Amino acid sequence: MSALETLTELIQQGRGAPEGVLRKAVDALFGERYQRSAGKDAQIRDAYALAREDAEAGIPWAGLINPDNPNSGPYGGTSLVWFPGESTALIGFGVGTRGISPDEGILTRPGHRRRVAALRRLLAKKGVMIWSKADPAALGVSVPKTFSSQFPEFAGTFKRYANEMYCVAQVPSEPKLAEDVVRAFLDLYAFERDWPVLKAYAERVRSQLLRVGQTEIVATELIRIATRLLDALVDVQPKKPRSHELDRAGTPRLLENAVRNGLQALGWVVDERGLGGGHEMDGLAWQLPLEQLWERYVEAKVRDEVGREGGDLSVGRLGQTVFPLHWSTNTARSMTHLIPDIVVRRGRSIRIVDAKYKAHFADIDEHMWMQLSNDIRDAHRSDVHQVLAYASLYDAEDVTATLVYPLRLATWEALHERQRDAAFADLFHGSRRVRLELQGARACIDRRIRQSRIRRPSRAAAHHHRCAGEGDGRERR
């Protein structure tokens, strides 16, 4: 059993936890989950004895406080504490009764406020009963009665510490969920105290992420790259950079734009401004859905192709391929624009590329068209109709409409070796030809990426690869 599992089980036992074991359980975290050297900066308090001696004399609790405090008596600054009950336990963050000092730098930072709010949202989604203040340093704000009244056995705890608590949650009875709750609070406290996480723990996190993201091609690739970076930095002592150091590092003109932008983003994190770089007190949220990441990835590969082979590139996200829909009446209109992802013009030829973060290419290759579910077939038809609608927008003799789907590396290599990673079908209207392409591309960002650019399939490839069709129920290639 890990140190975290042991500690969680002890917290769940409430007032029935064996005497004198809590301190050992917390100590065991250092050397297993966090670097052993961080243990000297952790002060552990165990006041469970108050429950055993005289329940009316005080409130039993245990937890971690700022190491600059005395070994006993009232303390100041932020703390991670848990309160044992007879049937359940509470865990949370609180400010010592002596005030926010010596942790003003943590409690008044917008970043800490954002992280506490994010923790509350995360655990609430899992069904955990949890509450938090908008401002951890606002000692005049108490835990609301609507929350505290749900835990009558902790009436004395809330009466005494309602103003000091700024995030509190019930420890669930279900072991796995309880461990998630204890882990979330511990890791956030460790982050604020700058306790380095051990590589062994980072490896467990990587394994968990791989299990969750196993069906997400881009996610697994990013995890692999992140692991490689962690391995390269395993012997490096973590150090939080200062803003002026990052500013100086990002000054040289010889730096790649990606490095310069990365240093700027680090500066935003150091300044607690969020990855959006905003100056607002609450910062800016930052997220990148995987479908957007896939679209940018495909765009980068097409840009690379155009840079080598020539042509004029237009991108929908930059507003360069917008076609307004002019409706006869405003009451019946639905869509207002058609916006192809990517358009490449070479003379009288047009190529439209639409990136789809779906598994359709692998599905069609592995299964007969009629064996696919109706949902998958309907979604694929929708993709085809969409890109063909884009093709109708351009007055060119030769139009190619390409749908690009992601493939796992092993799948892509197997198909590419047999020249089955692409397929096309031709549609003719008079002298005009529209070619529909289905392209499977590997979502792999490494030194071999140049070899897997979005390419036009040869006629030999078309002979070996089928394009899903309808009518007679057979697959056409």
pLDDT tens sequence for the chain (477 residues) = 889 999 999 999 998 888 888 899 999 999 888 888 888 878 999 988 765 554 445 789 999 999 999 988 899 999 999 999 988 899 999 999 999 999 998 999 888 998 999 999 999 999 999 999 999 999 999 999 999 999 999 999 999 999 999 999 999 999 999 999 999 999 999 989 988 766 555 666 666 666 666 656 666 676 777 677 666 766 666 666 666 666 666 565 555 666 767 777 666 665 555 444 444 433 444 455 678 888 888 998 999 999 999 999 999 888 899 888 888 876 656 677 889 999 999 988 999 999 988 876 766 666 666 677 788 888 888 899 999 999 999 988 899 999 998 887 878 888 888 888 888 899 887 778 899 999 888 865 443 333 334 444 443 333 333 333 333 333 332
Q: Is 275 exposed, middle or buried (0-12, 13-18, 19+ CB in 10 A)?
A: middle
Written as six digits, the tokens of 28 are 């065991």
Strand pairing report for 432-442 and 422-429 = antiparallel
Residue 228 pLDDT: 75
State how far the Cα of 272 lies from the Cα of 166, in Å rounded to an integer.
Answer: 20
Quick check: helix, strand or coil at residue 463?
Answer: helix
Answer yes or no: are the C-beta atoms of 196 and 38 closer than 8 Å. yes
Q: Identify the DSSP state of 125.
A: H
Around Cβ 359, how many Cβ atoms within 10 Å? Answer: 17
**Rounded-to-integer distance, Cα 376 and Cα 364, Å:** 10
> Can you list the pairs that 106-109 forms with residues at least 24 positions away whose Cβ atoms lie under 8 Å?
106/77, 106/78, 106/192, 107/77, 107/78, 107/136, 107/137, 108/137, 109/272
List b or e across 336-347, with b for residues whose CB sees 16 or more CB atoms inside 10 angstroms.
Answer: eebebbbbbeee
Q: Report how far Cα 322 is from the mean position of its chain's Cα atoms.
A: 30
For residue 348, the model assigns a pLDDT of 87
Q: In the prediction, which pLDDT does 459 show? A: 39
Cβ proximity of 425 and 435 under 8 Å: yes
The number of beta carbons lying within 10 Å of the beta carbon of residue 202 is 15
Residue 363 CB neighbour total at 10 angstroms = 19
- The whole-number pLDDT of residue 474 equals 33
| 3-state class (DSSP) for residue 108 | coil
**24 contacts 9 by C-beta, under 8 angstroms:** no
CB-based contacts of 435, cutoff 8 Å, min separation 6: 398, 399, 400, 401, 424, 425, 426, 427
What is the pLDDT at residue 32?
A: 82
H/E stretch holding 65? strand 62-65
What pLDDT does residue 412 have? 83
Q: Is residue 56 within 8 Å of 155, Cβ to Cβ?
A: no
- The structure's pTM equals 0.50
